[in-house]
């Protein structure tokens, strides 16, 4: 398997790899985003981690599929490696490599699911040597011993506003304050709940403009088109703006005064952390781990998932007092720095690696 020169520049010698982090999904997802942020931090902390698979940026340290043949040999200075899976499609190959090919591996699975796992997934999980849950809620659906390690956010990449480009004025949009909803545009993500809240609220809050950013896949194009038609009928096309999938979402977080995460269903959900790290207050549903990352009434508000009435009321409350909302954003930044730094997550995962690597083969 050959790669581009840029890709080869970050290829890691398998002899110097203690942990393989497979990513067997080509399309960007929340799991992939986690790997992209986490692995460079783990490397900076001295953890010998490398990724494997498609769909990752060229600068992420990686090994090739051909290097799997070298997994029969332990790493330099060690007795075995850790295979850190985050999906079924990554657990199963790890089991095959360990139990069929007899490669010296310890298997680790990170679970973010907020539901009872399928029988097949439970079968795979029972064969792991260790399991991490990304929240207390996801851990409650596991039937095996596990360690709760909540995701963190990269505080260097996501940071408070720093200049004129981090303001609503830089966007050319009307108003004084921006409220945003980022993520894939689909029913599961609650984009319709956000749009309808904006249709109800913006006419009586003239200083606010709403932006929506995220991919619209072909199967959800009708859903997005219907929302745009509702916006046009309400005469708000200039104040509820679809940005599409932007190249760099980070400045948009900094331009917001309020971020809304209205998901009906979520795994963990990083976007509220990214917003709070950008000094932005949040209104979220209680899907995923949102309720565990938000301090009710301090950094924002949490409402029941799928409850459009409650969502509209919470957003309306934040819009009615912009100064209080901006202060909530400042408190949100302090909260994330104290509790949800990416380095904290990486350090905790590193301790799980250390225990597994110290075990007998």
Dist CA 329 CA 178 (whole Å):
13
Task: For 43-64, write each residue's pLDDT tens digit.
Answer: 999 999 999 998 888 899 999 9
Nearest Cα neighbor of 83 from 100, 106, 115, 53 is 106
The whole-number average pLDDT for the span 106-112 is 96
The dihedral built from the CA positions of residue 48, 51, 56 and 61, taken in this order, carries a sign that is positive
* DSSP assigned state of 114: S
Q: Tell me if 262 is assigned to some domain.
A: yes
SS3 210: strand
CATH number for the domain spanning 216: value is: 3.40.50.2000
Dist CA 45 CA 66 (whole Å):
27
Are residues 12 and 62 in contact, defined by beta-carbon separation less than 8 angstroms? yes
Asked whether residue 334 falls in the same domain as residue 350, the answer is no
Residue 146 tokens read as 């596990």
The dihedral built from the CA positions of residue 351, 356, 358 and 359, taken in this order, carries a sign that is positive
Asked whether residue 25 falls in the same domain as residue 94, the answer is yes
Task: For 329-348, write each residue's pLDDT tens digit.
Answer: 999 999 999 999 999 999 99
Asked whether residue 142 falls in the same domain as residue 192, the answer is no
Share of the chain above pLDDT 70, in %: 97
Asked whether residue 229 falls in the same domain as residue 307, the answer is yes
**pLDDT score, position 9:** 62
17 CB-side CA count, 13 A? 29
In degrees, rounded to 5, the angle at the alpha carbon of residue 258 between the alpha carbons of residues 235 and 165 is 90
Task: For 68-86, write each residue's pLDDT tens digit.
Answer: 999 999 998 899 999 999 9
Task: For 224-238, write each residue's pLDDT tens digit.
Answer: 999 999 999 999 999
Q: What is the pTM of this model?
A: 0.84
Residue 5 tokens read as 């020169």
Task: For 281-339, write each residue's pLDDT tens digit.
Answer: 999 999 888 988 999 999 999 999 999 999 999 999 999 999 999 999 999 999 999 99
The whole-number average pLDDT for the span 6-20 is 84
The residue segments making up the domain with residue 96 are: 5-152+342-358
Query: Highest mean pLDDT: which of 150-154, 243-247, 275-279?
Result: 275-279
Dist CA 85 CA 184 (whole Å):
24
Q: Tell me if 159 is assigned to some domain.
A: no
Asked whether residue 328 falls in the same domain as residue 181, the answer is yes
Asked whether residue 191 falls in the same domain as residue 229, the answer is yes
The number of domains in the chain is: 2
Helix 191-201, helix 221-233: angle, nearest 10: 0
Confidence band (pLDDT; 50, 70, 90) for 8?
low
Asked whether residue 100 falls in the same domain as residue 219, the answer is no
pLDDT surpassing 80 at residue 258? yes
Average pLDDT, the chain: 93
């Amino acid at each position: 398997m050959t790669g581009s020169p840029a890709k080869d520049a970050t290829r890691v010698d398998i002899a110097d790899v203690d942990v393989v982090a497979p990513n067997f999904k080509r399309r960007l997802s929340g799991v992939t985003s986690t790997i992209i942020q986490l692995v460079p931090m783990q490397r900076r902390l001295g953890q010998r981690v490398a990724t494997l698979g498609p769909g990752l940026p060229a600068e992420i340290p990686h090994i090739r599929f051909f290097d799997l043949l070298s997994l029969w040999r332990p790493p330099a200075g060690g007795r075995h490696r850790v295979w850190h899976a985050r999906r079924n499609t990554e657990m199963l190959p790890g089991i095959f490599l360990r139990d069929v090919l007899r490669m010296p591996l310890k298997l680790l699975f990170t679970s973010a699911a907020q539901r009872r796992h399928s029988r097949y997934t439970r079968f795979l999980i029972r064969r792991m040597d260790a399991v991490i849950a990304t929240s207390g809620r996801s851990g409650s659906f596991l039937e095996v011993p596990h360690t709760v390690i909540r995701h963190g956010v990269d505080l260097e990449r996501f940071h408070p506003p720093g200049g004129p480009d981090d303001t609503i004025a830089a966007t050319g949009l009307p108003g004084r304050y921006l409220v945003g909803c980022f993520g894939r545009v689909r029913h599961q993500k609650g984009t319709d709940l956000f749009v309808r809240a904006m249709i109800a609220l913006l006419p009586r809050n003239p200083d606010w403009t709403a932006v929506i950013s995220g991919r619209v896949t072909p199967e959800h194009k009708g859903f997005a088109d219907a929302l745009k038609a509702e916006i046009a009928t309400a005469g708000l096309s200039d104040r509820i703006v679809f940005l599409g999938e932007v190249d760099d979402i980070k400045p948009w977080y900094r331009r917001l005064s309020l971020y809304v995460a209205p998901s009906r269903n979520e795994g963990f959900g990083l976007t509220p952390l990214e917003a709070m790290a950008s000094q932005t207050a949040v209104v979220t549903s209680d899907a995923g781990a949102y309720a565990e990352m938000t301090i009710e009434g301090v950094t924002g508000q949490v409402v029941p998932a799928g409850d459009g009435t409650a969502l509209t009321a919470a957003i309306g409350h934040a819009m009615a007092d912009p100064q209080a909302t901006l202060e909530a954003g400042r408190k949100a930044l302090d909260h994330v720095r104290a509790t949800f730094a990416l380095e904290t997550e990486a350090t905790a995962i590193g301790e799980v690696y250390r225990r597994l690597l110290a075990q007998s083969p």
